[in-house]
Amino acid sequence: MTEAILTLANVESAYGPIKAIRGVSLVVTEGQIVTVLGSNGAGKTTILKTISGIIDPRKGSISFRGEDITAREPSEVVRLGLSHVPEGREVFPLLSVHDNLLMGAYTRKDRDGVARDMETVFGYFPILRERARIDAGLLSGGQQQMLAIARAILAGPALILLDEPSLGLSPKLTKEIFEIVVRINRERGTTILLVEQNANMALNVADHGYVLENGRIVMEDRCSVLREKDDIKEFYLGMK
Ligand code: ATP
């Protein structure tokens, strides 16, 4: 269980003249929850978009399950077993909850597996079963976050990229969502790369963490070690 499922080597991405990430190297070990911490604008979302093929990197390389996926199309990356839950959920508002979930499975041919995964996500998020026929746009923010995670599971991924799942949610709902994220990791063996501004929550659930500042990784360690560092306590956990 110490094999890398995802490796970024010296990746640079930019929006026109704005360099958002500047030579990021990181490794995600199979079976783990790995988190990238960083303040607003540090480049966290850009890292995830670059991995899933939404943005092409200017430099560097990305490999997933031993394959070079640098600048591959997002649909190809999904087929290789990587699902992205974007910031702001991005569910299809005019489709029902059930149809949103089926959209997650569009690359799959194994109907039995899809049916099984549908049951699994309804087990994780019973409210989605209750609201299966309702338009996704009518769900609350928390329920849309649940739907976005559930839809990612329906793709049958080995790795889920999770962008700010706590955004706009109450502390109680955030805790519930993170409990499910941990269960997905432990029960299904799905590897998770989690981007979060809620450092306290992220450091509690993740095994390994990277700290990103101005597009560069400035620190990396096991989360149990990061939690005890003075800089982390002061800048990310709000402790003196
Ligand atoms: P947040 O928590 O606010 O989402 P982040 O750490 O995810 O922050 P990014 O969204 O990756 O950061 O942004 C990194 C940098 O790139 C920021 O300076 C941001 O202003 C810039 N940026 C992001 N998206 C665009 C865009 N579409 N066009 C131009 N600049 C962008």
- Provide the residue-wise pLDDT of the chain in tens; the chain has 240 residues: 579 999 999 999 999 999 999 999 999 999 999 999 998 899 999 999 999 999 999 999 999 999 999 989 999 999 999 999 998 878 999 999 999 999 999 888 899 999 999 999 999 999 999 999 999 999 999 999 999 999 999 999 999 999 999 998 889 999 999 999 999 999 999 999 999 988 999 999 999 999 999 999 999 999 999 999 988 888 888 775
Helix (H) or strand (E) holding 71: none
Q: Is residue 158 helix, strand or coil? A: coil
Q: Is residue 81 helix, strand or coil? A: coil
- Residue 186 DSSP label: H
Q: Count of CB atoms within 10 A of residue 114's CB?
A: 19
How many A from CA of 162 to the centre of ligand 1? Answer: 16
Ligand 1 contact via 17 beta carbon (within 6 Å): no
pLDDT at 8: 98
pLDDT at 71: 81
pLDDT at 238: 77
Return the amino acid letter for 174: T
Atom from ligand 1 closest to the CA of residue 163? 7
Phi, psi (rounded to 5 degrees) for 140 = -70, 170
Note whether 202 and 209 are within 8 A (CB): yes
